[in-house]
């Protein structure tokens, strides 16, 4: 599919993340407005509340954009999602008849503050990247036992905290936790010493379910995608994870990018999952290309210094797709809600430069990473800013997500001081 030209000229630049082919959904505010839904087009945001109030957008019997989140639209289902995309394309296409009515409703992105784009109902994080799982397993169990016996048959996951999800730009406070030193028998309560990132994609559930659904139904139920950083306290995790898996090590924060890239924008970039050693059971079997060709980059900027690129990889490296993760989530009859967020798991490629966490890049701290600034990193230091970015490359255009950034803030000096 080629570029769809817009009368918003900045949207027609080949390297701009928000062409008319994209139309990502976010929530923004300005000095003069409260938070409200908006659609990015080039270097502008279309004010959806104002567009609805003016009569330019009429999709349902009720107002869908009175509240500063996209959940109300999700609740209307895929037919209304498609109708909105068609209407936005008509309003913003080159030669649109309503340009004079739409233009006053555009706000420059550089004058806007971005907020969480949807209300997160519940959050589940998966461990579904084979290269990451093999690397981590090799560190702790050796290559012959790197993957547990179930890993090649089901997407492994855990239930996280929806309250921990924050929008890009939010500072991330280094957590305290109970740590076990290899030199002592008893644990101590200390600030995390091995704080890490995890490069992930997040899928947003747009259709509720109250029983098992197929992979095809799950794929149809996904509203869109965001970049996701699953901040991880490796030393807290090492002490707590047996026998029930991650808990406080993953509860500090989960950062997401501010724009929801909807599934239709990504359709031209479908990609197959990797070859499998074992055929998946019928309820998880692929029903076509299940992943997307999305280039991903991670940069790290020490306090007051320029950023260094520390990893480049691609979402198509995943072993399980978000649709397969969602389908698996429902097999027990677990209800899924509009606004549920599914983290893909760390996305790592087969080479060292493609590893999506410092745990892998520094091989557990044994091989410190060299930054362009001359600094070394095994794990994150206070003042470090991590930025995830990603895009799918089309014919003369790209589909971008907006950056997913967070700066590591020092731990509280006295967490229980009152």
316-346 residue pLDDT tens:
999 999 999 999 999 999 999 999 999 999 9
First to last CA, the chain: 59
CA dist., res. 186 & res. 128, Å (int): 33
329 is catalytic: no
Fold of 9-115: SH3 type barrels. (2.30.30)
Compute φ and ψ for 322, nearest 5 degrees: -60, -35
Question: Count of alpha carbons within 13 Å of 121, Cβ hemisphere only?
Answer: 19
Class of domain 123-409: alpha beta
Q: Give yes or no for a contact between 257 and 404, defined as CB atoms under 8 angstroms apart.
A: yes
Average pLDDT over residues 100-119: 98
Q: What percent of the chain has pLDDT over 70?
A: 100
Angle at 242 between CA 238 and CA 246, to 5 degrees: 65
Average pLDDT over residues 138-167: 95
Angle at 44 between CA 42 and CA 46, to 5 degrees: 115
Alpha carbon separation from 380 to 121, 324, 350 (Å, rounded): 29, 32, 23
Structure tokens at 365: 């701290």
Position 215 scores a pLDDT of: 98
Angle at 96 between CA 91 and CA 100, to 5 degrees: 85
CA dist., res. 87 & res. 97, Å (int): 12
Structure tokens at 332: 């027990």
Helices and strands, number each (H, E), in the chain: 10, 27
Position 92 scores a pLDDT of: 98
CA dist., res. 214 & res. 283, Å (int): 6
CA dist., res. 81 & res. 36, Å (int): 18
What residue ranges of the chain are covered by domains with CATH 3.90.850.10? 123-409
Around Cβ 217, how many Cβ atoms within 10 Å? 16
CA dist., res. 203 & res. 232, Å (int): 19
What residue ranges of the chain are covered by domains with CATH 2.30.30.230? 9-115
pLDDT band at 272; cut points 50, 70, 90: very high
Structure tokens at 407: 């700066």
Strand partners for 255: 166, 229
Question: What does the pLDDT look like over 382-397, one tens digit per residue?
Answer: 999 999 999 999 999 9
pLDDT at residue 16 tops 90: yes
Q: Give yes or no for a contact between 37 and 27, defined as CB atoms under 8 angstroms apart.
A: yes
Q: Give yes or no for a contact between 192 and 175, defined as CB atoms under 8 angstroms apart.
A: yes
pLDDT band at 407; cut points 50, 70, 90: very high
For the sheet containing 25-30, what is the strand order? 106-108, 44-47, 33-41, 25-30, 113-115
Peptide bond into 253 cis (omega under 30): no
CA dist., res. 220 & res. 322, Å (int): 11
pLDDT band at 168; cut points 50, 70, 90: very high
pLDDT band at 414; cut points 50, 70, 90: confident
Position 109 scores a pLDDT of: 98
Instruction: Write down the catalytic residue from 132, 328, 329, 391.
Output: 132
């Amino acid at each position: 599919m080629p570029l769809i030209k817009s009368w918003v000229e900045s949207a027609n630049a080949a390297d701009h993340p928000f062409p008319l082919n994209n139309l990502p959904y976010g929530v923004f505010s300005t000095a003069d407005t409260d938070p409200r839904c908006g659609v990015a087009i080039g270097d502008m945001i279309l004010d959806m509340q104002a567009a609805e109030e003016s009569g330019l957008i009429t999709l349902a019997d009720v107002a869908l954009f009175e509240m500063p989140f996209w959940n109300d639209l999700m609740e209307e289902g895929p037919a209304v999602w498609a109708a909105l995309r068609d209407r936005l394309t008509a309003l913003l296409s080159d030669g649109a008849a309503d340009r004079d009515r739409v233009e006053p409703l555009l706000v420059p992105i550089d004058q806007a503050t971005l907020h969480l784009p949807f209300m997160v109902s519940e959050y589940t994080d998966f461990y579904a990247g084979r290269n990451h799982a093999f690397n981590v397993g090799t560190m702790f169990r050796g290559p012959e036992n790197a993957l547990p016996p179930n890993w090649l048959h089901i997407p492994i996951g855990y239930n996280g905290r929806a309250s921990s999800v924050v929008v890009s730009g939010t500072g991330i406070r280094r957590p305290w936790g109970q740590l076990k030193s290899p030199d002592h028998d008893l644990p101590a309560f200390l600030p995390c010493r091995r704080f890490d990132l995890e490069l992930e994609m997040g899928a947003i559930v747009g259709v509720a379910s109250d029983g098992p659904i197929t992979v095809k139904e799950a794929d149809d139920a996904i509203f869109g995608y965001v970049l996701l950083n699953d901040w991880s306290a490796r030393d807290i995790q090492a002490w707590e994870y047996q026998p029930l898996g991650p808990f406080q090590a993953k509860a500090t924060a989960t950062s997401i990018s501010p724009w929801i890239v909807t599934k239709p924008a990504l359709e031209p970039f479908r990609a197959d999952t990797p070859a499998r050693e074992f055929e998946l059971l019928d309820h998880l079997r692929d029903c076509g290309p299940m992943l997307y060709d999305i280039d991903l980059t991670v940069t790290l900027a020490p306090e007051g210094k320029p950023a260094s690129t520390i990893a480049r990889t691609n979402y198509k490296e995943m072993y399980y797709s978000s649709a397969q993760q969602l389908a698996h989530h429902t097999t027990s009859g677990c209800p899924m809600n509009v606004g549920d967020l599914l983290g893909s798991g760390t996305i790592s490629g087969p080479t060292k430069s493609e590893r999506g966490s410092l745990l892998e890049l520094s091989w557990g701290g044994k091989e410190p990473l060299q930054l362009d600034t001359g600094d070394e990193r095994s794990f994150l230091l206070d003042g470090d800013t991590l930025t995830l970015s990603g895009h799918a490359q089309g014919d003369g255009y790209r589909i971008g997500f907006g950056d997913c950034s967070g700066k590591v803030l020092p731990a509280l000096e006295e967490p229980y001081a009152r």
